[in-house]
Chain A
Amino acid sequence: MKLHPMIAALRKHKAGVVLIALQIALTLAIVCNAIFIIGQRVERVGRPTGLDEGNLFVVSQQWVGAPSADTPDGVAKLDAMLKEDLATLRSLPGVASAAPINSLSLLNSTWAGALSTKPGTNFTDRGSNVRTAYYFTDEQVLPTLGLRLVAGRNFNAADVQNHGFREQFTYPVVIVTQALADKLYPKGDAVGKTIYVDGSSSPSTIVGVVARMQTPAVGWGDNFAWHATLVPVRLDANFTRVAVRAKPGQLEAAMKATAPALYQVNRLRVLDDDSVRPFTDIRAKAYRADVGMAVLMGVICLILIGVTAAGIVGLTSFWVGQRHRQIGVRRALGARRIDILHYFQMENLLIAGAGAVIGIVMAVGLNMWLMSRYEMDRLPVFYALIGVVAVLALGQCAVFVPARRASNVPPVVATRAA
């Protein structure tokens, strides 16, 4: 099909062509970036934490009239109360194991710091330090969270200390995630090596490496999201948090049994509806904004695509009506139905192609603006290409019905009075 006469004909309908091409361009620019954002959000929401999420629940509670964590006596009492709770939870029939923990992946309550292979560094200096989130826990943490040990050993009871919440203390031994170990010791020999916590000069020994554990902060990017450090310390305070792993299929029963069992041990505590939460609930809450953003972007995309498709259908239908006689003349001069169909499809391809070229430029521009304002990643070429294919396909689908109607115009129309 020769394009020159078609382009010449389109130049006679500049306003409609420009408007629809711009609409296609705008749709491409927005849809490309929106799908990229959706993809990123979906990928983020789908990231496994490394925990046995399906069987895990968290008990967060507050003591009433508890002793102060600022005195050694108070700390000792708080620790005894915590140990009693742990024993109670571990003895529940549906519970496989339990471990105290200050926070948990996706819980958005982070105790953050930095690790270095050198002593006495300025821990705000990112060049010599690696950012990490600390989990203070005990020797049952690995089976409780379902973490997979890939090197070294788990903590043992002798490693575990207890400290008051606001105490300064050292971390003689730690377990780190594989991502963090690789960052600190890229040769893969982290176990047994020394690290220094938060710029201190007190050495800590890496005794084990776990495959994966996500940090509590949902907002941490992929660079830091897997930099977790487990420290064998029970933190004593007037509030406690315990991670509990239920036996398979007994999550609900174990959760239900938790509050009555704990109240039976000590009634001076606050356990409300949110105190016993399954991990799935934590995950859903953590990613609510991401899911909401993805849905919003999806709806915007659908609306834009719908409006653009309607625009193409409307304009093509108008042109078919306007060129009714002209189509009849073409048919009279020997055009087959398929020639008329192809004519409108090709015409749409030209307009959509022009729109796609402008749209690519707009998509890159929009992406650069988003990068500068909202820390968005660079739009991969793949998304732009998918966007181009999508708008061209959208154009072809939208134009099909009016084009088919055009192809059914009979040749005898050419002889009828205008």
Chain B
Amino acid sequence: MLKMTHLSKVYRTEVVETYALRDFNINVKEGEFVAVTGPSGSGKTTFLTIAGLLETFTGGEYHLDGVEVSKLDDNARSKIRNEKIGFIFQAFNLIPDLNVFDNVEVPLRYRGMKSAERKQRIMEALERVGLASRAKHYPAELSGGQQQRVAIARALAGSPRLLLADEPTGNLDTQMARGVMELLEEIHREGATIVMVTHDPELAARAQRNVHIIDGQVVDLSEDPRFHAAHAAADQAHG
């Protein structure tokens, strides 16, 4: 589904070159739920932005759903983002001027979908996240957890092949975070491929597979005792 090989991302200024990702290799299979962890500045978000075609990379190869994306122009990248990728952002990134229905509709409109199909998909997505009754509400009228659910509905409405979540519970309290996480797990059980970037080892432990990034490279977690401790804590919490 998602395969990066020897990928690098370099930020250059006049005096310095900074490697955000270096010889980065990852392979996410269809239907996997992968958590990407790592300390601040390790390159997690850079990985996610490149994976989501929000940014270009400097070297290496990236295949998304069998397509080598480095040669794609801006329009083709937009099309892939629109049709194959669903984004869930830490800050929800709902458009404050639009109500819930219109927010969920945004990516569908860019796809040129017919009105009736759009409406059906939007209502299905909102029902799935339990917010069908709030379709006419504006983001400011919803709690943080509800806003993130709307963002998830927006990501799901387009039936993407890949869901990319950037700290999806980062702005939520524990109870709301749990609800969002359960929703992601449910979506995964239904067959979605999810890549989630998180700081939280407990959340990461609930994913099917963990990828740890340090200094822009994937490291082997089997040698990291913190990982085993987090897994044990997560298992205990879920009984």
Residues of A at the B interface (CB closer than 8 Å) are 1-2, 4-5, 8-9, 12-13, 325-326, 329-337, 339, 410-412, 414-415, 417-418
Chain A residues near B75 (CB-CB < 8 A) = 336-337
The reply to whether A411 and B54 form a contact with Cβ atoms under 8 Å apart is yes
Chain A residues near B96 (CB-CB < 8 A) = 12, 326
The reply to whether B91 and A417 form a contact with Cβ atoms under 8 Å apart is yes
The reply to whether A5 and B87 form a contact with Cβ atoms under 8 Å apart is no
**Is B224 part of the contact surface with A, judged by Cβ < 8 Å?**
no
Number of A-B contacts (CB under 8 A): 82
The reply to whether B55 and A410 form a contact with Cβ atoms under 8 Å apart is yes
The reply to whether B89 and A333 form a contact with Cβ atoms under 8 Å apart is no
Q: How far is the CA of A334 from the CA of B93 in the complex (A)?
A: 14
**Is B98 part of the contact surface with A, judged by Cβ < 8 Å?**
yes
Residues of B at the A interface (CB closer than 8 Å) are 45, 48-49, 52-55, 74-75, 78-79, 81-83, 87, 89, 91, 93, 95-99, 102, 105-107, 109-111, 154, 166
The reply to whether A334 and B83 form a contact with Cβ atoms under 8 Å apart is yes
The reply to whether B93 and A411 form a contact with Cβ atoms under 8 Å apart is no
Closest A residue by C-beta to B154:
A333
A351 to chain B, nearest CB (A): 15
Output the residue of B55, B93, B99, B166 with the most chain A CB within 10 A.
B93
A1 to chain B, nearest CB (A): 8
Q: Which of A2, A325, A329, A414 lies in contact with B109, CB distance below 8 A?
A: A2
Known A336-B78, A410-B54: A415·B110 in contact at CB below 8 Å: no
Known A5-B105, A415-B45: A329·B95 in contact at CB below 8 Å: yes
Q: Which of B81, B95, B98, B99 lies in contact with A334, CB distance below 8 A?
A: B81
The reply to whether B48 and A415 form a contact with Cβ atoms under 8 Å apart is yes
Chain A residues near B98 (CB-CB < 8 A) = 5, 8-9
Q: Which of A334, A412, A417 lies in contact with B82, CB distance below 8 A?
A: A334
Q: How far is the CA of A326 from the CA of B154 in the complex (A)?
A: 15
Q: Which of B49, B95, B97 lies in contact with A412, CB distance below 8 A?
A: B49
Q: How far is the CA of A332 from the CA of B154 in the complex (A)?
A: 12
The reply to whether B166 and A415 form a contact with Cβ atoms under 8 Å apart is yes
Q: Which of B55, B83, B102 lies in contact with A5, CB distance below 8 A?
A: B102
B151 to chain A, nearest CB (A): 10
A338 to chain B, nearest CB (A): 8
Q: How far is the CA of A286 from the CA of B148 in the complex (A)?
A: 75
B40 to chain A, nearest CB (A): 12
B73 to chain A, nearest CB (A): 10
Known A12-B97, A334-B79, A334-B110: A415·B105 in contact at CB below 8 Å: no
Q: Which of B49, B74, B82, B99 lies in contact with A333, CB distance below 8 A?
A: B82
B167 to chain A, nearest CB (A): 10
The reply to whether B82 and A415 form a contact with Cβ atoms under 8 Å apart is no
Q: How far is the CA of A8 from the CA of B106 in the complex (A)?
A: 14
Chain B residues near A9 (CB-CB < 8 A) = 95, 97-98
The reply to whether A326 and B48 form a contact with Cβ atoms under 8 Å apart is no
Chain A residues near B45 (CB-CB < 8 A) = 415
The reply to whether B87 and A337 form a contact with Cβ atoms under 8 Å apart is no
Closest B residue by C-beta to A327:
B95
Q: Which of A4, A326, A334 lies in contact with B107, CB distance below 8 A?
A: A334
Q: How far is the CA of A325 from the CA of B97 in the complex (A)?
A: 13
Chain B residues near A12 (CB-CB < 8 A) = 96-97
Q: Which of A1, A4, A412, A417 lies in contact with B54, CB distance below 8 A?
A: A412
